Amino acid sequence: MKLAILSDIHANLEALTACLAHARRHGADAWAFTGDLVGYGADPHACLGIVRDLAAQGAIVLRGNHDDAALGGLWPDMNPVSREAAVWTRSRLGEAERDFLAALPYVVARKDLLFVHASAAQPENWEYIVGPAAAARCLAATEAKIVFGGHVHHPRLYFSARGDVSAFVPRPGIAVPLSAGRRWLALAGSVGQPRDGNPAASYLLFDGVSRRLTFYRVAYDWLTAAAKIRAAGLPNTLAQRLEHGL
Amino acid sequence: MSGRVGDFRILGPFRSGSMAELFEAEAPSGEHCLVKRPKLGFGSHPACYAGFETEQMVLGRLAGPHVPRCLGQGEETADGRGPWLAIERIEGQSFEAIAAAAPLPAAEVARLGVLLADALHALHRQNVVHQDLTPAHILLTVQGRVVLIDFGLACHGDLPDLAATEGGAATLGSPAIIAPEQVLGVRGDPRSDLFAAGAILYRLATGRYPFGSVASRWGLHRRRWFDPPPPRLENPEIPEWLQEIILHCLAVRPERRYASAAQLAYDLAHPDQVVVGERGRRLRRGGLRLAVKRWWSERQLDLAEPARPVRQLERAPHLLVAVDTDDQNGALAEAMRHTLRRLIAHDPHWRITCVGVLEPSIMTEQDEGASIGHSLHTAKLAILHQWAHPLALPRERLRFHVLTGGEAAAQLVDYARAAHADHIVMGARGSSVMRRYLGSVSARVVAEAPCSVTVVRVPQAQDG
């Protein structure tokens, strides 16, 4: 089994299709979408169509804070750009899309794997895992050996070490064996809105047999994705972010 | 233990160490191999598992003749005893056994040192630092090849550093051998392995370790400030060039050591080219004043995150320049020197070897005695020195070599491989007396070289 984990698609159709094609070329036969399917990008309808089709075939799909926002669950300190994008996204969703988003779970467990958008510790609070302390809280909240998540838009790998947690910045394309003697938290980065200075889309491929995890970066047509954001009348900063990966 | 792990049949115990047990086993192919299992359970050191999984992870990514092949691995077995690793069984003598006969003659120390440095360079090129290089972890096979074993403390530049997270003395390495920066917890610098190699050469040449074998806290830390006794003080028969090489490896600061194992291998293989300085001649150890100076400079040291191992090698390229000894001052020679200057501009630890070719036809025509061949050889060397003179580069960064006999392209390629060259610079022949020797070879060198090749051409004036 080769499981592709895609997080924070943010309605970026160009990035999503590029990652799916890349993952299929590398043998992916199972899919997990760890939240924030929509929000920011110009193609919520098309992206949800693709994810719903894969969900019908067994893909794991999770709820993210921006999916919540598109259903009306705006949070108090939401910045104006996110708020504007959420309101715009809501106007583009039909009943079928809204029902699909409303039914998404916060957490899914499969054997010794756990999938969540933000943190396994109170997932509905959308905590950002920005360092080993937050990663330790996440791992402490579950028995799972490996937790997959997103939300922070930076690819990271955390692992347990003598009662502590260490962080590792993964190198794209290098398979890391996740040994059974430790617990691991893999943050997939973002498919549709990378923020680590590299505009290429980020996703994970996990080999369930060898238990090797590979972080990938995929170049996609971000100029088109940015042009669509401008054409839709969404804030220009959202288009600029895609061009610079910031 | 008997029975099976994965597809491997256990034949019997092989050896039991403090961290892991080794068993003789048979692979599905029928090949005899070893199966390694960490000592887990109540009372075992937590580093046992970290060391084991580090080895599992690193060996799985290594290739080549200088490491045992990884034949299989798994996390669980039917007997519930946890993870295992199947590796190639290397038949050979360990450097520990060889060191029992130390002090060894200088030529033998150099021969073993070249084999070790070649193996280390192959490891470092794969982005791995061994971090626990001891004579017991170096095997010399019957075919005369060095194989490095036991990667429980190794550091891979592209993978999580699991061994580092354990901390404590058990994961530090061998106290008699480890580098000063390793004492301070710095990992991932290939030059730490070169310090260890220096300590091992020191032992082969003198019969003892440079800082003794006492594992006291002081014994561990004094290497941060004090030089070891010069090897020639321990064994007066050691030549100055060998002391120069050994103490170069044992420099306190990594940036004062050889920049790569390839440079160490080259010097051990070419003793006549080692520039012997005060370090090679000294018969006293550095005094307290030097130690205080080092103590102070260490306090200013910024122990930043180490770069990836391969980054260090990228900063230390070995450039091979194929020199046409008939053309020292022409436009092509000048263009080649200009190319060299550009290539070394951004790499602080470069080395250049100027290579000339002694044509076989001249050898046979004039080979009326060894003395003629010898004088041709020294004449070529002198020309190579002259060729490099306008570069005005420090002598210790330059090496000179004359290839004799055989076909020029094949010789150059073989030499580049043996000398771990990273880049070959050669001229495109327009017209010259040497064309029949060098002019036809560049295409073949480009096709067969183990590294990048730059063919330098003087811009031609365009017609019309």
Q: How confident is the model at residue B374 (pLDDT cuts 50, 70, 90)?
A: confident
- Cβ-based neighbour number of residue B47 at 10 Å: 24
Question: At residue B167, what is the residue type?
Answer: G
**Distance of alpha carbon B138 from alpha carbon B143, whole angstroms:** 14
Give pLDDT, residue B123: 97
B79 burial type by CB count under 10 A (0-12 exposed, 13-18 middle, 19+ buried)? exposed
Give pLDDT, residue A10: 96
Q: Is B60 on the interface with A (CB under 8 A)?
A: yes
Q: Is A157 on the interface with B (CB under 8 A)?
A: yes
Report CA A220 to chain centroid distance, whole Å. Answer: 17
Looking at per-residue confidence, does B277 or B431 come out higher?
B277
Contacts of A174 in chain B (CB under 8 A): 158-159
The overall average pLDDT reported for chain A is: 94
Contacts of A166 in chain B (CB under 8 A): 160, 165
Question: Which residue on chain B is closest to A168 by alpha carbon?
Answer: B160
Q: Is A179 on the interface with B (CB under 8 A)?
A: yes
Asked if B158 and A174 come within 8 Å (Cβ–Cβ), the reply is yes
The b/e string for A106-138 (b: 16+ C-beta within 10 A; e otherwise) is: bbbbeeebbbbbbbbbebeebbebeebebbbbb
Q: Quick one: average pLDDT of B376-402?
A: 90
- Who among A157, A166, A174 is closest to B165 (CB)? A166
Contacts of A171 in chain B (CB under 8 A): 158
- Who among A161, A171, A176 is closest to B165 (CB)? A161
Digit-coded pLDDT (tens) for A17-32: 999 999 999 999 999 9
Give pLDDT, residue B287: 73
Domain topology for B3-88: Phosphorylase Kinase; domain 1 (3.30.200)
Q: Where are the domains of chain B?
A: 3-88, 92-309, 317-456
A215 burial type by CB count under 10 A (0-12 exposed, 13-18 middle, 19+ buried)? buried
Give pLDDT, residue A226: 95
B150 conformational bin, left if phi > 0, alpha if psi -120 to 50, beta if neither = left
Give pLDDT, residue B177: 87
Residues above pLDDT 70, as percent of chain B: 86
Q: Quick one: average pLDDT of B442-451?
A: 91
3-state SS, one letter per residue, for A188-226 = ECCCCCCCCCCCCEEEEEEECCCCEEEEEEECCCHHHHH
Q: Quick one: average pLDDT of B25-43?
A: 85
Give pLDDT, residue B285: 78
Digit-coded pLDDT (tens) for B125-164: 999 999 999 999 999 999 999 999 999 999 999 999 888 8
Digit-coded pLDDT (tens) for B259-307: 999 999 999 999 999 999 999 998 887 777 777 777 777 766 655 555 6
Asked if A177 and B57 come within 8 Å (Cβ–Cβ), the reply is yes
Looking at per-residue confidence, does A130 or A75 come out higher?
A130
Give pLDDT, residue B376: 81
Asked if A179 and B53 come within 8 Å (Cβ–Cβ), the reply is yes
Going by DSSP bridges, is the β-strand pair A164-168/B128-129 parallel, antiparallel, or unpaired? unpaired
For residue A111, give every residue at least 6 positions away whose Cβ sits within 8 Å of its Cβ, in sequence order, or none.
none
Contacts of B76 in chain A (CB under 8 A): 180
Which of B77, B158, B308 has the highest number of chain A CBs within 10 A, making it the mutation to test binding with A? B158
Give pLDDT, residue A128: 94
- Who among A162, A171, A181 is closest to B53 (CB)? A181
Chain A: give the shortest CA distance to residue B86, in Å. Answer: 15
Does the CA dihedral A35-A39-A45-A47 come out positive or negative? Answer: negative
Give pLDDT, residue B1: 55
pLDDT of B448 higher than 90: yes
Class of domain A2-244: alpha beta
Q: Quick one: average pLDDT of B311-337?
A: 87
Contacts of B167 in chain A (CB under 8 A): 162
Give pLDDT, residue A181: 83
Q: How confident is the model at residue B168 (pLDDT cuts 50, 70, 90)?
A: low
Question: What CATH number is given for B92-309 in this structure?
Answer: 1.10.510.10
Chain A: give the shortest CA distance to residue B159, in Å. Answer: 6
Segment among A58-72, B107-121, B296-310 with least mean pLDDT = B296-310
Q: How confident is the model at residue B434 (pLDDT cuts 50, 70, 90)?
A: low
Give pLDDT, residue B302: 59
Hunting for tokens 């436009």 — which residue is that?
B331
Asked if B166 and A162 come within 8 Å (Cβ–Cβ), the reply is yes
Digit-coded pLDDT (tens) for A127-144: 999 999 999 999 999 999
Q: Name the token pair of A194.
A: 């990378």
Name residue B85's beta-bridge partners: B36, B73
- Who among B46, B56, B158 is closest to A179 (CB)? B56
pLDDT of B362 higher than 60: no
Chain B: give the shortest CA distance to residue A12, in Å. Answer: 30
Digit-coded pLDDT (tens) for A30-63: 999 999 999 999 999 999 999 999 999 999 999 9
Give pLDDT, residue B306: 57
The overall average pLDDT reported for chain B is: 86
Give pLDDT, residue B301: 60
pLDDT of B438 higher than 80: no
Chain B: give the shortest CA distance to residue A137, in Å. Answer: 19
pLDDT of B45 higher than 80: no
- Who among B46, B56, B159 is closest to A176 (CB)? B159
Q: Where are the domains of chain A?
A: 2-244
**Distance of alpha carbon B139 from alpha carbon A112, whole angstroms:** 41
pLDDT of A166 higher than 80: yes
Return the CATH number of B317-456, one of 3.40.50.620, 3.90.470.20, 3.90.105.10, 3.40.50.300.
3.40.50.620
Give pLDDT, residue B180: 87
Going by DSSP bridges, is the β-strand pair A113-116/A146-149 parallel, antiparallel, or unpaired? parallel
Give pLDDT, residue B268: 97
Report CA B228 to chain centroid distance, whole Å. Answer: 22
Catalytic residues of B: 132
H or E element that contains B277:
none
